[in-house]
Chains A and B, each alone.
Chain A
C-alpha cells in the first residue's frame, strides 16, 4: 500500500546550516502490516511520517500509495489523496476545539465527500466501540487526554483508510489509554490496513510485523 523510496529531507538550523533529517529513507508497508518506527527523539521519525503522509514535501524521493505516485501530485491532488487513503493519529490529538467530539470525527468524512447519515451512524458506532459515545456532544477541552485520543482515533479510521499513520499516539496517554489505542491500531491492521506507528514505547512493538529504527536519516531493521 505504501512505498517510499530515497526520501531526503533537510531543515535549516537558525544559523542557516542544513540539518539532514532523512537521507534516502526507504519504507514499504503492505496492507495488513503493522510497522513500528522507533528511534531517539529528534531522529526524524515524525518528519518521515509527515513526508509519507504528504503533510510536507521531501527534498527528494518518491512516495507511492498503491500504484499512484502521490508525491508528484499538486497541493489539491495531495489533499484528495490524503482524504481518500490516509488516516492520521497525532500525539497531540489535534481535535478542533470549536467542534464537538462527534463533529470532529465526522470532519474526516466531510472532506472525503462521504458525509450523510451513514457516516454519522458509523461515527457513533466507533465512539461506542472506543467507550466515548457518552462524550459525543462534548468539546475537546471538556475531554481528558485519553478521551481526546480515542476521538482522534475514531476520526482517523472513520473512512476505513487503507493507510493509517500514527505519530506517538500514546505519547500523552496513561498506560490503559495507550494500550487501548495501540490495540485499536493493531485491529485495523488485522482488518487489512497498512499501519505505521512511530513510537518510543516498547509495548508498541508487540505484535508488529516489522520494527525499524531511524538512524542517520535511514531506516534500519
Chain B
C-alpha cells in the first residue's frame, strides 16, 4: 500500500495528464453514445410498427405528417391481410406556437386508444419508472416521459395543465434516450379534446357541420401491428394499395428516412468520437512514455544495481497499470461529474447531452490501461537498450 502511494505520488502529474485525456475521451464518447442511442431507439420504434396517417398536410404532427384518419379508414386497415391490430392515435405538439422544424426533439402529446393493445412489436408497453401506465377508462390522467418530468420537476401525483385542463400524472417513463422522453401520454379522448381546442380550422369545420365527423374520426394516425410471420413492408404496401386516403410509412423506408435525417449528427459524433480516441490516445501514450523517459536516470541506476530487463519491465508495467488505472478512473469520474453538471443544466429544457453507457466506461478504461501499458513498455524497451552509463548520462 505504501509502495502504491509512493508510485502514485511520483506520477502525480502523469496521472493528472491521463485524467484530463480520459475525461475528454469519455465526455465526447458519451455525447456520441447519446446520439447513437437516440437513433437506435427511434429506429427500433419505427421498425416495430407500421405508421399510418390520413392523407394530407393536416396538422403535420408526429412522425407521419398526415391529415385526419377517420374511423372508417381504421376499420378498413384492420381488415387488410396480415394486420394483427390497429391502435388509433392522436399526436399533437405540446406547444403549437413553436417551430416544428426539430420534430424529433419536440415535446409532444400522444393520445392512445387504450381499448387496443399497443401493436408495436418492440414496445408492447412503454417502460414505466414510477407509478403506472394508462388504463382503459382513464380520463384526465397522464404518463410523462423522463425528460419532460425532469424539466418540470414532475412526479407521480403531480399535475400538468394541457389546453387549460389539469391532468394528474399517474406515471413517469424510464429514460429511453429517444422521442418518448419528451412525451405526455394521455387517453385518446383527452387528446382529441386538446386537438380541437388547439386547431381553429378544425373547430370551424366541426361547427359548420360540413363534414360528418364524430369523435372517433379525430385521429392523426394509427399504429399498425402485423401477424407473426408476416412481412411488415408487404403488409404496409397492401394497406397503401387497399385503403384509400392514407399515408402509409413502410417500416424499412421510415427507418431509412430516420437514419438519413440523423446521418449528419451520427457522422458528426462518430467523427468526434474517433477524434477523441486519437487525441486522447496520443495524449495518454505521450504522457506515459514521457513519464518513463523522464526517469531514464533512475532506470540507469537500477540497471547499474543489477536490475534485469524482466525486472524493469515488470516494475514499469506494474507502475503504468497503477498510474493508468488511477488516471483512467479519475478521468471517468471527472467526465461523469462534468456530464451530470451539464445535463442538470440541459434538463431544464428537456435535453440530455450525455449517455455514459457501461460499454463506454469499460472501453475507455480498458483502452487507457492497454495504451498506457503499451506506451510504457515501448519507452522501457528504448531505455533498457541503452547502457546503464548512457542512461545515467542522458538523465543527468
**A interface vs B, CB < 8 Å?**
50, 53, 55-57, 75-76, 79-80, 82-84, 88, 92, 94, 96, 98-99, 107-108, 111-112, 155
Cβ–Cβ contact B389 & A56, under 8 A: yes
CA distance A75 to B384 in the complex (A): 9
Cβ of B307 under 8 Å from chain A: yes
Cβ–Cβ contact B10 & A111, under 8 A: no
Interface pairs (13), CB distance under 8 Å: A56-B388, A56-B389, A75-B384, A79-B306, A79-B308, A80-B306, A82-B305, A83-B305, A83-B307, A98-B10, A111-B305, A111-B311, A112-B306
Q: Which residues of B contact A94 (CB under 8 A)?
A: 297, 301, 304, 392
**B interface vs A, CB < 8 Å?**
6, 9-10, 297-298, 301-311, 384, 387-390, 392, 396
Closest-CB distance, A53 to chain B (whole angstroms):
8
Looking at the complex, which one of B6, B306, B309 makes contact with A83 (CB distance below 8 Å)?
B306
Looking at the complex, which one of A56, A83, A108 makes contact with B390 (CB distance below 8 Å)?
A56
Q: Which residues of B contact A53 (CB under 8 A)?
A: 304
Q: Which residues of B contact A79 (CB under 8 A)?
A: 303, 306-309
CA distance A88 to B302 in the complex (A): 11
Cβ–Cβ contact B6 & A76, under 8 A: no
Cβ–Cβ contact A82 & B304, under 8 A: yes
User: What residue in chain B is nearest A93 (Cβ atoms)?
Assistant: B301
CA distance A160 to B268 in the complex (A): 66
Cβ–Cβ contact B301 & A96, under 8 A: yes
Closest-CB distance, A9 to chain B (whole angstroms):
11
CA distance A94 to B384 in the complex (A): 17
For B301, B304, B306, B387, the residue with the greatest tally of chain A CB atoms inside 10 Å of its CB is B306
Q: Which residues of B contact A80 (CB under 8 A)?
A: 306, 308
With A98-B6, A111-B302 as contacts: A55 and B389 at CB distance below 8 Å: yes
Cβ–Cβ contact A76 & B388, under 8 A: no
CA distance A76 to B312 in the complex (A): 11
Q: Which residues of A contact B10 (CB under 8 A)?
A: 98
CA distance A64 to B297 in the complex (A): 27
Cβ–Cβ contact B306 & A82, under 8 A: yes
Q: Which residues of B contact A155 (CB under 8 A)?
A: 305
Q: Which residues of A contact B389 (CB under 8 A)?
A: 50, 55-56
For B297, B304, B311, B388, the residue with the greatest tally of chain A CB atoms inside 10 Å of its CB is B304
User: What residue in chain A is nearest B7 (Cβ atoms)?
Assistant: A98
